[in-house]
Amino acid sequence: MTDLVGDLLRRVSRSFYLSLAILPRALREPLGLAYLLARASDTVADTRLLPRAERLRHLATLGAAYAGAAAPEVAGVARACASAQTHAAERELLERVGETLARVERLPAGDRTAVRAVLATITEGQRFDLERFPGEDAAGLAALDTLADLDRYTYLVAGCVGEFWTRLCVAHRPRLAAWDVAAMTATGVRFGKALQLTNVLRDVPADLHQGRCYLPARELAALGLGPRDLLDTQRTPAARPLLDRLLRLALEHYDAAWRYTLAIPRAEWRLRLACAWPLLIGLGTLAAIARHPNPLAVVRPIKISRGAVRAILARSALAVWSDAALRREAGRLRAAVRV
């Protein structure tokens, strides 16, 4: 049987696994288990072969189990959803939720409490997503209303992870004892929002065809557009001012995230790299979105190449000991996001 916080996590998330693998050992278990359970409930939420009401019931079952309640129905969730998965790793993930929960129970009390708290917020975000977007395809397209709704969504599914990450790092790494925990937690929230907003902007075309528009309807209306207009590739250029505004917002979040990363002592080089890698890859993705002539009409999501990722990993491994070198790496990619 494959290791949970090793091979299985690598197979369900290659990008997060990069950061997890480089982290100090004490952080890997709680962060890895939390990720696996969040990914399991997300897989349930996305199992479109099941009626939406049934998925919401399964999410409620998982949410109760994640909070520590006895939940024998968890095995039923796996049976209901696993067979609908096309990827073997996601089937195995669902089948091993009970084992993952048992590992959470064996964590130290502080870590266990932190894992339960972040999962409560993430599953709230997954329920919000299912309830806010009732359609399954473009025919049932719905949109968020306001920028505040988008900000709330990015907090629920990713910003809260910055809180969780900060809590664990302060608890396990004595070199962070001088941190202002409240200030760093707030900055950590922006770290998570930076990455999630990047995902939102990258995935707009695919999400539209699944009935979800995360670009707020009020902001589109100010440009003379409705969510359904974004399905017309001839109309999407008119949404460019909103896209550029959100790119600028994402950059502001990235700036905060870099302040967070550079506040990590240089001796904590593993933790620095675990933070720097997703930021550098995210900035590269933002730059690719910004320079595309019509990014809201692409057929395939905009991504940076594997070669570019390997180059980022190599350069940052050399730069990790120097604040100035890391700033240069970030600045080079940030400057490429021309909005």
Mean pLDDT in the chain?
A: 94
State how far the Cα of 225 lies from the Cα of 217, in Å rounded to an integer. 8
Contact 130/59 with Cβ under 8 angstroms? yes
Q: How far apart are the first and last CA of the chain?
A: 48
Q: What are the CA-CA distances from residue 205 to residues 101, 163, 213 (Å)?
A: 35, 30, 9
State how far the Cα of 8 lies from the Cα of 4, in Å rounded to an integer. 5
pLDDT digits (tens, 9 = 90+) for 31-55: 999 999 999 999 999 888 888 999 9
Residue 277, SS3? Answer: helix
Residue 70 has pLDDT above 90, yes or no: no
For the chain, what percent of residues have pLDDT higher than 70?
Answer: 99
Instruction: HSE, CB side, 13 Å, CA atoms: give it for residue 5.
Output: 22
State how far the Cα of 60 lies from the Cα of 110, in Å rounded to an integer. 24
Instruction: HSE, CB side, 13 Å, CA atoms: give it for residue 19.
Output: 18
β strands within 168-314, DSSP E: 212-213
At residue 234's C-alpha, the angle toward residues 228 and 240, to 5°, is 80
Q: Predicted confidence band at 78 (pLDDT cuts at 50, 70, 90)?
A: confident
pLDDT digits (tens, 9 = 90+) for 154-207: 999 999 999 999 999 999 999 999 999 999 999 999 999 999 999 999 999 999
What is the model's pLDDT at position 2?
57
Contact 189/160 with Cβ under 8 angstroms? yes
Q: What are the CA-CA distances from residue 160 to residues 29, 250, 337 (Å)?
A: 18, 16, 26
What is the model's pLDDT at position 1?
43
Domain spans of the chain, in order of start: 1-108, 133-339
**C-beta neighbour count of 117 within 10 angstroms:** 17
Q: Is the dihedral of CA 176, 177, 179, 184 positive or negative?
A: positive
Region at 322 (left for phi over 0; alpha for psi -120 to 50; beta for the rest):
beta
pLDDT digits (tens, 9 = 90+) for 239-296: 999 999 999 999 999 999 999 999 999 999 999 999 999 999 999 999 999 999 999 9
CATH architecture of 133-339: Orthogonal Bundle (1.10)
Residue 122 has pLDDT above 50, yes or no: yes
State how far the Cα of 330 lies from the Cα of 325, in Å rounded to an integer. 9
Residue 274: which of 36, 31, 103 has the closest Cα?
Answer: 31
Residue 331, SS3? Answer: helix
Residue 162 burial by Cβ neighbours in a 10 Å radius (0-12, 13-18, 19+): buried
Contact 331/315 with Cβ under 8 angstroms? no
Mean pLDDT value across residues 55-81: 89
Is the whole model's pTM more than 0.85, yes or no? yes
DSSP 156-195: IIIIHHHHHHHHHHHHH-GGGTTS-HHHHHHHHHHHHHHH
